[in-house]
Structure 1
Amino acid sequence: MATKKIKKVLLIEPNYSNKYPPIGLMKLSTYYKNLGGWEVTFFKGDLKMFVIERIADRCIEEFNYIDSTIDWFLKRDEFIEYIKTRKKEVIERLAIERSDMELILLAKLDDWKNYYWKGTWKDNPEWDRVGVTTLFTFYWDITVETINFAKLLVKKKKDLMVGGVLASIQPKELEEATGIKPWVGILGKPGVLDKGDTQIIDNLPLDYSILDEIEYKYPMSNAFYGYMTRGCIRHCAFCAVPTLEDKYIPYIPLKDRLDAVREVYGDQKDLLLMDNNVLASENLKDIIDDIVASGFGKGAKFVQPDMLEISIRNLQNGVNDRAYIRKSQALIAEFYQKLKPMKGDESYEVYKVMARYHINKLSTTKKENLIAAYEEIKDIYKRHQHPVPRARYVDFNQGVDARLFTEEIVELLSRIAIRPLRIAFDDIKTFPSYNKAIRMSAAAGLKDFSNYLLYNFVDKPLDLYQRLRINVELCDELNVNIYSFPMKYHPIRKGKDDAEDLSHNRDYIGKHWNRKYIRAIQAILNSTKGKVGKGITFFLEAFGNDETEYMELLEMPETFILYRFFFKWLDEKGSMGTDHWRQCWSHCMNTLAEDEKQLVLDIIHTNTFYKEELEAVTSADALKLLNFYTNYRKDIITPGTELYRLKQEYDENPTIQLRRKK
């Protein structure tokens, strides 16, 4: 009886930095594994290196077939390096002369090197299907590059699928750039990929194992991810949700999906839900009941399971060898590093086992060796596992709608381990609803908030200051913690009046903003690590005592913002500090002719300070002012300048730091 040929699917996330794993690809992995007959591989990273590693593994496989008396896999790093670099000295490290088949092996090594460098691999694609996910529109360049590379990896171009956020928002543009027609929206119907199949891909449990196939580690880990609703009842001008999820689905049950994940991949500490407007659901009580039944009620605790035991079990069961070889090896290596300082018998025993089975490096680690090594060290490992119960948290990460708050809704939210509660405050005009939502939540015992503040859209710069200050003052009044996260607006499509597509980069400037103001906000947030928390003294120091001081900060040279306490120190020494800039600024704004003043402001607000721009300035006072923006920027980081020397002197004994008072 002929065996069914295994087909291969490669799932790719472009190599940008992002917090959250690709939920769509995790569902697709489950889909293909449920189909049977598919081998699934996930990759995020350098695709050229991925190809080189695949070729190196095929080369090693052929070497082992020709001469099995030598374990060529132990030289995997050298095979990869040689195919990548073609350096002859790498061949010496392979020690092929040990084999009686030396000449044949050298010829084969040359063949595989040429297979990569002559591009022959492009004529023999490995994958039956390839799926590429997409994210933000400002990742345009890397996304297009990834899709075009993926075309080389799939046997038939029609079997390259592109989906996700960017693909759904700009399908025509992406097709023009790549020749691939993307999928728009979610995979919410049966049979969309394979006719006759009854699975609804968007409702499938996530395959968490694929996240361990790659080197990249997502900052938001050890959490269940998912949706309990889809879509949104709003149609905000800045939002892509109506395109991505055009129909509001009020309830998608959760518990069975989480139980399926727990059974195979182990329990996760937190629950991160990506719903776009969960409070709009008429089934909110069912959603909350489901969350509580899933183990995330108020006060819920989490005990870390034995992930090494789970990883080895999944290796034995053939769940995902590529993932669990990497994960098991990493866990054992991490365990050894913890034992190492103890320098006892246990540390030495683990070291001997790792050396004997060649699992001290991932590149030399084999599945069967990991399983054997685990059997020898598991008793030692378990003796050192003492997990402490930790608080669980539920996070509606996309935020909830302040306009929908009622006493009943707040009571429901207070039943789950929600922390933080995220309430969007994108427009100062929504203050009445926002204020009511915060106060109702605080009265119900919800004390931790992490709220998004959109700026650079249709708002004015003062609006951001007002919203930030409102949050700080609410913290003090209600004794709660509100972390404000200012989020710079980026368009999701090219505007009809735009000369270039500003959705493909991060250069968009709102009509009430300018590049200088944006850079000033970013410089301030640099000192607050991107968020603004409680503490009015801290806030006033960072953003100004009032709106006038805040607007002055926006105009201030970026160098003076980044090193504000150093320049205040210079003022105290009578040197050229912030007060000198302030005096010069005030003088120019009050005395320059209107056309000269506008020219100076245009130069400052574009934040470029090109030579030809500066040459157009004739006023000595204006040039003196602009000197604060140009020379100071260079001098503070240039050894040998007086400003650099003074900065070194200050750094040895800083007098002030921007910090919250305890």
Structure 2
Amino acid sequence: MANKRILLIEPGYRNKYPPIGLMKIAAYHGPYGKRDNVKFIKGEQEKSVLRTNWDRIYVTSLFSFEWREISKSIDFALEVANGNATKVFVGGIAASLMHDQFVMEPRWRGIRFIKGLLSDAPAKALHLDDFEEELYSEDVDGTPIEDLVPDYSILDQIKDQYVYPVNDAYFTYASRGCVRKCHFCGVPKLEGGQRDARPITDVVKAIDERYGPKRDLMLMDNNVVASANYRSIIAEIRDLGFVPGAKLARPGRVPVQRRVDFNQGVDARILCKDKMYLQEMSTICIKPLRIAFDHIGVRKPYETSIRMAHDVGLHDLSNYMLYNFHDTPTDLYQRMRLNIDLNEELGIRIFSFPMRFQPTDQKDRTHVGDHWNKYFLRSMQIILQATHGIVSGSPDFFKEAFGDSPDDYENLLLRPQHFLFNRHWYQYHGGRGEFEDYQHQFQRLKDSDRRELVALLSSSVPSTYTGLIGKAESSAVNRILSYYVPLSDEVERDIWDKMKNIKTAAEKISIPEDERVEDAGLTENV
């Protein structure tokens, strides 16, 4: 039954890692599996696929807020299938976490939306109907697709269209699931409880044999330090050659430094209990060590873990900082500031990535936490655009970006957003007079005025701010509202042209693109 035509579609969103799920499906259908003809596309631009009669079409999904892009790909898949929904299968993170919303969409009736991992035999995992004699419906005892070695060859099919920032790596797991049940996280629903995965060595050796050696070891574990076999996992990584200073030498190419990355981060609440965890980490070429700092309540174990990491020689550190959940802006500021203080005290450099919380079943990025507001969230995005999504570096640069205190930070969040976007122009150059006038007006606002100002700005979009003037109950708010009206495109361009000729101090952030956060949403309109 070989030589069937199989189409794999990844929606056209930007993402950091290749679609491992589709790579495993390609392994099931490809030369090491059913020997079908597998085609991989990204987005809906490759119209040539409309001319082929495909036997099956798979669509993957990532974050729920990419609903629009995912929807476009599902609609395209139906078009490719000439309306035959039974040929279309949709899976992945969003399809699992928002399963009911996908199933209930009338235009997608008949499509199979797969929830969770493909960890059963293929026919069962894909919900194939043997009575209808569907393709491979008899495969009730085969190796689960989840356990297959990813097919890297499909990435070559789109290399002229899209290159994943992380690509020269072994993508695998040492463990699945998590011992935690954090309310902001989709892992418990996707993967369930903590358990060990198949040996890393088996996956690495198979990839070497089929596709050649890879530079890095990218482990997608959610909480590896919670594994009962943690020491054995680290020992296996060492045995594979991923030790400090390790390099990969390939014929005709310059040797390259290798690294291990537990890309989902590790748990400070476990790390701080025993120095063994970090001592073990120091025996592999981990870069960076990512430690989650999701709320101020874990400050003590987080700080202890950072100090212990420093003691064992781990100085390439990074973390994710969730905000817009149950935290306040002050909470986020204190966490960011702690890293700056630790950098200065210990002589290390922690790269922090603030991550805006979105519910795992929401179709866009519009969620506003109880202690945040729409205006503050837009301001935070603008600040992060200027810092490339990273909180790092010297105290001086941090203070300029985020302020010298929680109060300073909240004042920045409430500042007119073109003052943030063109900060140097307004603070030090041609716009200084206007900025000083604004500061004078702002300092006269009472707490009640500030609350009214935030409410008004959050109730509108920037293009309608002109209509807010005169609508406030407070005369002080009405006077200051004129500063919030966005600049015209012409004025904006004029500022940029003038700033091109002015040298400004800028922090050089030497962090590779493949270490940046993939879903920060920094390029979206604010």
Task: Give the TM-score normalised by the residue count of structure 1.
Answer: 0.70
> Are residues 1:31 and 2:25 paired?
no
For the residues of structure 2 that align with 1:158 and 1:574, how far apart are their CA atoms?
A: 61
Contact 1:31 1:199 in 2 (8 A): no
Residue type matched to 2:259 in 1? Answer: Y
Distance 1:289 1:251, change over 3 A: farther
Aligned to 1:625: 480
Report the alpha carbon displacement of residue 651 of structure 1 after superposing the two structures with TM.
4.0
Q: What residue is the counterpart of 2:456 in the other structure?
A: 603
- Structure 2 residue 43 is the aligned partner of structure 1 residue 45: yes
Q: 1:260 to 1:37 in 2, by over 3 A?
A: closer
1:328-343 equivalences under 5 Å are none
Q: Does 1:254 align with 2:216?
A: no
Task: Work out the CA distance in 2 between the residues paired with 1:42 and 1:9.
Answer: 9
Q: Secondary structure at the match of 1:403?
A: helix
Is this contact kept in 1: 2:324–2:356, CA < 8 A?
Answer: yes
Match of 2:133 in 1: none
Counterpart Cα distance in 2 of 1:518 and 1:277: 29
Provide Cα deviations, 1:77-118, integer angstroms capped at 9, x if missing partner.
xxxxxxxxxxxxxxxxxxxxxxxxxxxxxxxxxxxxxxxxxx
Structure having the higher Rg: 1
Q: How many residues align?
A: 486
Measured against aligned partners, the alpha-carbon deviations of 1:408-438 in whole angstroms (never above 9, x if no partner) come to: 1112111111000000001011001101111
Q: How big is the shift at 1:576? A: 2.7
Which of 530, 541, 545 lines up with 2:404 in the alignment?
Answer: 545
1:521 maps to which of 380, 404, 419: 380
Shift of the alpha carbon at 1:622? Answer: 3.1
**Which residue of 2 is the match for residue 119 of structure 1?**
none
Which residue of structure 1 lines up, in the alignment, with residue 17 of structure 2?
20
Question: Structure 1 residue 574: deviation in Å?
Answer: 9.2
Secondary structure of 1:622's counterpart equals helix
1:587 matches 2:514: no
Alignment of 1:108-187 (within 5 A): 126-154=53-81, 156-177=84-105, 178-179=108-109, 180-187=111-118
Once residues 31 and 661 of structure 1 are traced to their aligned partners in structure 2, the CA distance between those partners, rounded to angstroms, is 41
SS where residue 271 of structure 1 aligns? Answer: strand
Structure 1 residue 304 displacement after superposition: 3.5
Asked whether 1:487 is paired with 2:360, we answer no
C-alpha deviation, 1:157, in angstroms: 2.7
Q: Matches of 1:652 and 1:269 in 2, distance apart?
A: 41
Counterparts in 2 of 1:661 and 1:295: CA distance versus 1, 3 Å? closer
Partner Cα separation in structure 1 for residue 441 and residue 308 of structure 2: 48
Q: In the superposition, relative to structure 1, how do residues 220 and 618 fare at CA in structure 2: closer, same or farther (>3 Å)? A: same
Range moving further from structure 2, 517-526 or 277-286: 517-526
1:616 to 445, 467, 471: 471
Q: Which residue of 2 aligns with 1:341?
A: none
Q: Which blocks of at least 5 consecutive residues in structure 1 are unaligned?
A: 56-124, 306-384, 494-502
**What do the CA deviations read for 1:448-471 (whole angstroms, capped 9, x no partner)?**
111000001110001111101101
Instruction: Give the distance between the partners of 1:436 and 1:528, measured in 2 at CA.
Output: 27
Residues in 2 aligned to 1:148 and 1:660: alpha-carbon distance in whole angstroms: 43
**1:559 lines up with 2:418 in the alignment:** yes
| Residue identity opposite 1:579 in structure 2 | E
1:464 to 332, 338, 341: 332
Instruction: Answer 1 or 2: which has greater helix percent.
Output: 1
Per the alignment, residue 268 of structure 1 pairs with 214
How many Å apart are 1:607 and its aligned residue? 5.2
Q: CA deviation at 1:231?
A: 0.3
Within a 5 Å distance, the mapping from 1:254-403 to structure 2 comes to 254-305=200-251, 385=252, 387-403=253-269
Q: Which runs of 4+ in 1 moved over 6 A?
A: none
Once residues 279 and 207 of structure 1 are traced to their aligned partners in structure 2, the CA distance between those partners, rounded to angstroms, is 28
- 1:384-463 equivalent positions in 2, closer than 5 A: 385=252, 387-405=253-271, 406-463=274-331
Partner Cα distance (1:548, 1:619) in 2? 22
1:581 partner letter: Y
Distance, in Å, in 2 between the alignment partners of 1:559 and 1:158 is 50
1:144–1:174 CA contact under 8 A, matched in 2: no
Is 1:507 matched with 2:366? yes
Mapped to 2, the partners of 1:432 and 1:598 lie a distance apart of: 33
Residues 251, 281 of structure 1: 8 Å contact kept: no
Structure 1 residue 36: Cα displacement: 2.6
Q: Distance in 2 between matches of 1:283 and 1:158?
A: 42
Give 1:575 deviation, angstroms.
5.5
Alpha-carbon RMSD across the aligned residues, in angstroms, is 2.3
Q: Quick one: distance in 2 between partners of 1:622 and 1:290?
A: 63
C-alpha contact (below 8 Å) 2:168/2:216 kept by paired residues = yes
Structure 2 partner of 1:638: 490
1:3-43 per-position Cα deviation (integer Å, ceiling 9, x unaligned): x5621111111111111100011111111123334211111
CA distance in 1, matches of 2:207, 2:431: 65
Would you say the 8 A contact 2:425–2:432 is kept in 1?
Answer: no
Q: Secondary structure at the match of 2:408?
A: helix
Deviation of the 1:599 alpha carbon: 4.0
**In the alignment, residue 205 of structure 1 is paired with which amino acid?**
V
**Unaligned stretches of 5+ in structure 2?**
127-136, 511-526
Check conservation: 1:251, 1:283, Cα contact below 8 A: no
Q: Percent identity?
A: 37
Change over 3 Å in CA distance of 1:148–1:661 after alignment to 2: closer
Contact 2:320 2:353 in 1 (8 A): yes
Alpha-carbon spacing, 1:645–1:16, altered in 2? closer, same or farther (3 Å): closer
**Residues 170 and 476 (structure 1), Cα distance of their counterparts in 2 relative to 1, 3 Å cut:** same
SS in 2 for 1:504: coil
Q: Provide the rounded CA distance (Å) in 2 between the counterparts of 1:437 and 1:597.
A: 39
